[in-house]
Structure 1
Amino acid sequence: MKAPIIEIFSSFQGEGLFIGQRQIFVRFAGCNLNCSYCDTNDSKSEKSGKLMTVDDVLAAIENVRTPDCHVISFTGGEPSLYPEFINEVARQTDLKILLETNGTLPEKIDFIEKLDIVSLDIKLPEHFNNDFNEDIFINEIKSVNLLMAKSIMLYCKVVVLPSTKTNLIQEVMEKLSNNISSKNKLQIIIQPSSPLEDWGNSNSKLFEFSEIVGQYFEVSTIPQVHKILNIE
C-alpha cells in the first residue's frame, strides 16, 4: 500500500487548540477542494507527492520523533482521501492521531478506525472562486455529527478574511447550530487569514465574529502561530 506524501516533519502545532505542542506532521498530496486562501498549494495535486509505503512513513516518523512529541498530525492536502493508509500507520504506532480535514468526505472519515483528535475546517463561500456549493457545508455537518457520535475530540476552525461579512458568520453559525446533535460539546476556532498585516484596521471585526460565534458555541480566536514564529 502506498500514498502520495509531500513531507514528514516535526514542528510546533501552529493552528487550533494545540498551538505550541510539538507534533509530527504527515502531509499528504491531493485535495478534493480548491480553496483560494490555501497556504499549501503544492499539496493540492496528488502528483506532487512522493509515493511512500506504510513502512516508509513509519520509519520517517521515528526518525524525527522526540520525547516532547506525542501526536501525529495527518494533514494535506486532504488526508481523509487515504483512510486505509492512515489506518495502517495508526495500527503500528503508539502516538495519538490528529486529523486535519475539510470534513467534506464523511464516508471516508468514518472509515478511519483510530482518531484521537479532529480539526475540521468549516468552509465559507468566499473561500472559493465561484465554485462553492451547498453540499460542502452539508457534508461538513455530517462529519461533525458522526465524530460527535463516536465521542472523538473535535474542534472546528473557520478561516476568516478581512473581507468576511459578519452576516455570513451569523448565517453559518446558525445553520451549524441547528443541524448538529450536541452543540454544547463543539468548540469553534476563528482563524484570521495570514499575513496578519493584511488586516490593517479590519482586525476590530474579529471581536464581532467572536461575539456572533459565542451565541452558539465555545469560541477562541487564534491566528496561525507558526507564521508568526516563522517556522514550518
Structure 2
Amino acid sequence: MDAPIIEIFSSIQGEGLLIGERQIFVRLAGCNLNCTYCDTKNSQSANVGTMMSVNQVLEKIEELSTPDLGSISYTGGEPMLHADFISELIKKTETKSLLETNGTLPKELTKLEDLDWASMDIKLPEHFDNTWSDKILENEISFIKLLIEQDTKLYCKLVVLPSTKISTVEKVLKHISSEISGHMEIPLIIQPASPLELWEGNTDKLFQFSEVAGKYMKVYTIPQIHKFLNIE
C-alpha cells in the first residue's frame, strides 16, 4: 500500500492542545477542500509528493525518532483521503498518534480504530471562495460524534481573521453544540490567523470570540507558536 507523501519531519507542535510537544509530522498530499487561509498550498494536489509504502514511512519515522518524541502527527492536505494507509501506520507503531483533519470525511474515520488524538478544524463560510455548503458543517458534526463514540481524545480548532463576524462564529458553534448536547467539555482552540501583525488594533475582537465560544465549548485562544520560533 502506497500513498503520496509531501514530507516527513521532526519538529515542535505549534498548534492546539499538544502545543510544545515534540512530534514527527507525516504530511500527505491531496485535499478535498480549498480554504483561503491554507498555509500548505503545496499539499493540496494529490499529484504532488513522493509515493511511499507503509514500511518506507515507518523507516523514516524510526530514523527521526528522538527521546523526547511524544506523538506522530498525520496531516496534509487532508490525511483522511488516505485513511487505510494511516490505519496501517498506526497499527505498526507504538508511538501515540494525532490526526489533523478538516473533519469532512466521517466515513473514513471508522478505519482509524486505534487513533489517540484528533485535531479537527471547524470551517466557516468565509474560509472559502463561494464553495462552502451546509454539508461541510454536517460532516464535521458527524465526525465529532464518531470521535466521541470511539473515545478518541478530541479538540476542535477555529481559525479566525479580524474580518471574521462574531455572529457567524456564534451561529456555527451554537449549531454544533445543539447536535452534540452534553459534550461542552470538548476543547475549542481559537487560532488567530497569521501573521499576528494582522491583529494590531484588533486584539479586543479575540476576547469577543472567546466569550461567544465559551457559551458552547471549553475555549482556548492559541496562536501558531511555531511561527514565533521560525520553525516548520
> TM-score interval w.r.t. the shorter chain?
over 0.9
| Corresponding residue of 2:196 | 196
| Corresponding residue of 1:117 | 117
Which letter does structure 2 place at the counterpart of 1:228? F
Contact 1:148-1:182 at 8 Å conserved across structures: no
Contact 1:145-1:181 at 8 Å conserved across structures: no
Matched, 1:165 2:165: yes
Contact 2:177-2:184 at 8 Å conserved across structures: no
| Corresponding residue of 1:221 | 221
Contact 1:188-1:220 at 8 Å conserved across structures: yes
Unaligned runs of 5+ in 2: none
Question: For 2:8 and 2:181, how far apart are their aligned partners in 1?
Answer: 35
State how 1:88-127 maps to structure 2 within 5 Å.
Answer: 88-127=88-127
Question: For 1:174 and 1:183, how far apart are their aligned partners in 2?
Answer: 13
Contact 1:30-1:43 at 8 Å conserved across structures: yes
Question: For 2:64 and 2:31, how far apart are their aligned partners in 1?
Answer: 25
Question: For 2:182 and 2:53, how far apart are their aligned partners in 1?
Answer: 38
Unaligned runs of 5+ in 1: none
Question: For 2:39 and 2:182, how far apart are their aligned partners in 1?
Answer: 32
Question: For 1:106 and 1:96, how far apart are their aligned partners in 2?
Answer: 21
- Is the helix fraction higher in 1 or 2? 1
- Per the TM alignment, residue 217 of structure 1 is displaced from its structure 2 partner at its CA by 1.3
| Corresponding residue of 1:21 | 21
Q: What SS does structure 2 have at the residue aligned with 1:83?
A: helix
| Corresponding residue of 1:62 | 62
Question: For 2:142 and 2:83, how far apart are their aligned partners in 1?
Answer: 17
Q: What SS does structure 2 have at the residue aligned with 1:201?
A: coil
| Corresponding residue of 2:151 | 151
Q: TM-score, normalization: structure 2?
A: 0.98
Question: For 2:31 and 2:89, how far apart are their aligned partners in 1?
Answer: 20
Question: For 1:174 and 1:193, how far apart are their aligned partners in 2?
Answer: 22
Aligned residues: 232
State how 1:46-85 maps to structure 2 within 5 Å.
Answer: 46-85=46-85
- Per the TM alignment, residue 85 of structure 1 is displaced from its structure 2 partner at its CA by 0.5
| Corresponding residue of 1:31 | 31
Which letter does structure 1 place at the counterpart of 2:28? F
Which letter does structure 2 place at the counterpart of 1:90? I
Question: For 1:9 and 1:80, how far apart are their aligned partners in 2?
Answer: 19
- Per the TM alignment, residue 199 of structure 1 is displaced from its structure 2 partner at its CA by 1.7
Question: For 1:180 and 1:125, how far apart are their aligned partners in 2?
Answer: 21
Matched, 1:43 2:7: no
Once the two structures are aligned, what percentage of the paired residues are identical? Answer: 56
